[in-house]
Structure 1
């Protein structure tokens, strides 16, 4: 029977993934070496390989860990059994707040997912599809006619375009905090959603 990992092991792995995400986001995956990751973590390169096989696994763990945390947020919101508008508002708000604290991981996900091995990429994209599907379901629960017109997914992608782009310019506290920005994004999208007309 395998021995359970210690809390120290998990903490060190979390540090490695966070430092790798920071380096990948700042200088690109291709330009980042395992030596640089090890130095950023304060460990030897040999010690780094105790936690991950190679740089490909580092990238996969960063990307998959990020989408799994987002999926957990979706499950948490859906578990509250909220009516359609509060459900969609809560999803938007929680994601804006989550992205603010995971800008590096999100940049890696959006820019480097195509560099993953096929099996890892499919795992990440499968979880992403579930997340997007939950938003699309919440949107179409609020306006069922949009699903009938097959507009619920394009509108969901427009929403994600708004949220995803934030990590390129948003700096918390200059002048808004994530907590202040999140309801503004929800207000903007939900206010505009009501004006969307289905094509004749």
Structure 2
């Protein structure tokens, strides 16, 4: 089958991922067909299989890419100071990073149920790596007497759940700036860990 006129692998592949991201976020993974993705990109449905074996692989790649970008961005951030300084940096980083990627965040959390067992396990490894980074900050804070937390794993999950909530309600141009929201959330997290 000939390539659709104007189609180019360096352009079409990213366009397919972007279209899938938007459609999955808007309608949900289960409601989107490969044919809809192809239509959005402007290629024939069969052409998609030159870029991805199936819809499941496409979903996995979107989630994996998001998690790898998240881990790399956190890994690149250099924060010096005690556990409280580290935790404040994590809180503000998490909010800022995720606010710039609402569709990726929605898919990363809401579409986990649609991954097959193998792909789910791969994403869970990446999610645990990110959670472990936060839990290590909390453990260090407990060890130094900076935080009072009875269970660092539960606290880790609670903090991430709290921070993820920002993406559901915050709107630019609202009553508070993003910096002010970050400050409020830092105060809530600080109080939650007994700092």
Q: Deviations over 1:126-182 (max 9, x none)?
A: 010010011011122223269997511111111111112222222233244434422
Distance 1:70 1:189, change over 3 A: same
TM-score by length of 1: 0.81
Task: Trace 1:172-191 onto structure 2 (pairs within 5 A).
Answer: 172-191=172-191
Partner of 1:109: 108
Q: CA RMSD in A?
A: 2.4
Partner of 1:50: 50
SS at match of 2:51: coil
**Count of equivalent residues:** 187
Unaligned 5+ runs, structure 2: 1-7
Unaligned 5+ runs, structure 1: 1-7, 196-200
What displacement does 1:22 show?
1.5
Partner of 1:22: 22
What displacement does 1:122 show?
0.8
Partner of 2:64: 64
Distance 1:188 1:150, change over 3 A: closer
Contact 2:95 2:182 in 1 (8 A): yes
TM-score by length of 2: 0.83
Q: Distance in 1 between the 2:10 and 2:88 partners?
A: 33
Distance 1:35 1:88, change over 3 A: same
Contact 1:100 1:172 in 2 (8 A): no
SS at match of 2:171: coil
